[in-house]
C-alpha cells in the first residue's frame, strides 16, 4: 500500500512549448534524492489538460524509467471520456505505475451514477490500482459512490482528498477501514488531515519542500504533533500562501520557483496559462530568499 509523501510534479516545457525532457529527468532525480515516497505525474500541476496523448505516454516512459526501483509512480489519467482514461491507465500500469490518479469527469458535472460508471470502467479495464480524486475539478465524490465502485472492482484502494472537509478522512476510514488509504491533497490542510489520520500527502508543495513534508508526515505518525506543526508553520504555510493566493496561477508559481532554484530550465507554461506578472515573480523571489531556497 502506498503511503507517505507523494509529490505532484510540474511538466517542464522549453521556450518552444515542447516537453523539456532533461528538466523533467532533473526534477524527478532531485525529488528521489530527497527520499520522497512517490512522484505523481500528469496531475493538474503537471498541466495534463494541455498535453497530447503521445506526450503523456512519453512522460510516463521517462518517469517510470527514472523512478524504477527507487520510488513509487502515480500517473494522472483525468479525462471526461471513461474509455480514454482507461486506455491511459492501462498504459501506465504496463509501464510499472503503482496507481493512477482519477478525478470525476470534468467539464460537465457528473451525476453520482456517472461517477460510479467512470471509476468502475477505469478500475476494470485499466488493470492498475485507482486513487480517486475527491474534490478534483471542485467536484466532491460522495462516500456511497466509493462503496458502489468498491463493490464492482477491488482496484479502488486510494483517495486523494481536496474537498474542504477534513473530517472526511475519518469518515472514509470508518467506512472502509484499512482497505482504502486517504491522502491529504490540499497544501494548507496538510496538518488537520494528517491529524484526522491521513495515510499520506499528495501535494504540489513537495516540489519545493520534499524533505520537510516527509518529516512532517513521519513526526505525525510518531505522535510528535507540535514538532510537525512547527515545521509546517515555518516552511509549508508561507510558500502555500504565496503560491496559492491566486488559484489559477499556482502552476506558474511552482515552475517559476523551480527555475529560480535551478532545477528546471524555464518557467514556460502552455496557453491558456500565462506567465506571472513581474510583481508576482518578485513576491515569489522574496519568499524563496526568506525561506533560504535560493
Tell the burial category of 19 from Cβ atoms under 10 Å away from its Cβ (0-12, 13-18, 19+). middle
- Residues facing 184 on adjacent strands: 161, 201
Catalytic sites, residue numbers: 133, 160
Q: Is 202 annotated as ligand-binding? A: no
**Omega cis (within 30) before 111:** no
Q: Report the greatest alpha carbon distance in the chain.
A: 51
Q: What angle do CA 245, 201, 287 make, to 5 degrees?
A: 35
CA distance 202 to 60: 18
Tell the burial category of 149 from Cβ atoms under 10 Å away from its Cβ (0-12, 13-18, 19+). buried
- Residues facing 72 on adjacent strands: 38
142 and 112 Cβ atoms separated by less than 8 Å: yes
Amino acid at each position: 500500500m502506498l503511503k507517505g509523501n507523494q509529490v505532484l510534479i510540474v511538466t517542464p516545457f522549453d521556450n518552444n512549448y515542447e516537453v523539456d525532457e532533461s528538466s523533467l529527468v532533473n526534477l524527478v532525480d532531485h525529488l528521489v534524492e530527497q527520499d520522497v515516497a512517490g512522484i505523481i505525474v500528469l496531475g493538474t500541476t503537471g498541466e495534463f489538460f494541455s498535453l497530447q496523448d503521445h506526450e503523456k505516454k512519453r512522460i510516463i516512459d521517462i518517469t517510470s524509467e527514472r523512478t524504477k526501483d527507487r520510488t513509487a509512480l502515480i500517473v494522472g489519467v483525468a479525462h471526461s471520456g471513461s474509455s480514454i482514461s482507461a486506455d491511459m491507465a492501462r498504459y501506465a500500469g504496463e509501464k510499472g505505475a503503482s496507481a493512477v490518479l482519477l478525478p470525476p469527469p470534468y467539464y460537465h458535472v457528473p451525476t453520482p451514477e456517472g461517477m460510479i460508471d467512470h471509476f468502475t470502467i477505469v478500475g476494470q479495464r485499466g488493470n492498475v490500482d485507482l486513487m480517486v480524486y475527491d474534490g478534483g475539478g471542485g467536484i466532491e465524490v460522495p462516500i456511497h459512490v466509493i462503496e458502489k465502485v468498491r463493490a464492482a472492482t477491488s482496484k479502488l484502494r486510494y483517495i486523494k482528498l481536496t474537498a474542504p472537509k477534513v473530517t472526511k478522512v475519518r469518515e472514509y476510514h470508518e467506512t472502509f477501514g484499512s482497505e482504502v488509504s486517504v491522502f491529504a491533497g490540499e497544501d494548507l490542510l496538510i496538518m488537520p488531515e494528517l491529524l484526522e489520520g491521513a495515510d499520506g500527502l499528495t501535494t504540489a508543495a513537495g516540489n519545493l519542500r520534499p524533505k520537510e513534508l516527509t518529516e512532517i508526515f513521519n513526526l505525525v505518525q510518531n505522535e510528535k504533533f507540535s514538532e510537525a506543526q512547527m515545521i509546517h508553520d515555518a516552511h509549508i504555510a508561507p510558500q502555500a500562501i504565496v503560491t496559492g493566493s491566486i488559484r489559477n496561477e499556482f502552476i506558474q508559481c511552482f515552475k517559476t520557483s523551480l527555475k529560480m532554484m535551478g532545477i528546471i530550465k524555464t518557467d514556460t507554461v502552455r496557453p491558456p496559462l500565462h506567465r506571472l506578472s513581474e510583481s508576482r515573480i518578485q513576491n515569489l523571489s522574496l519568499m524563496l530568499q526568506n525561506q533560504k531556497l535560493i
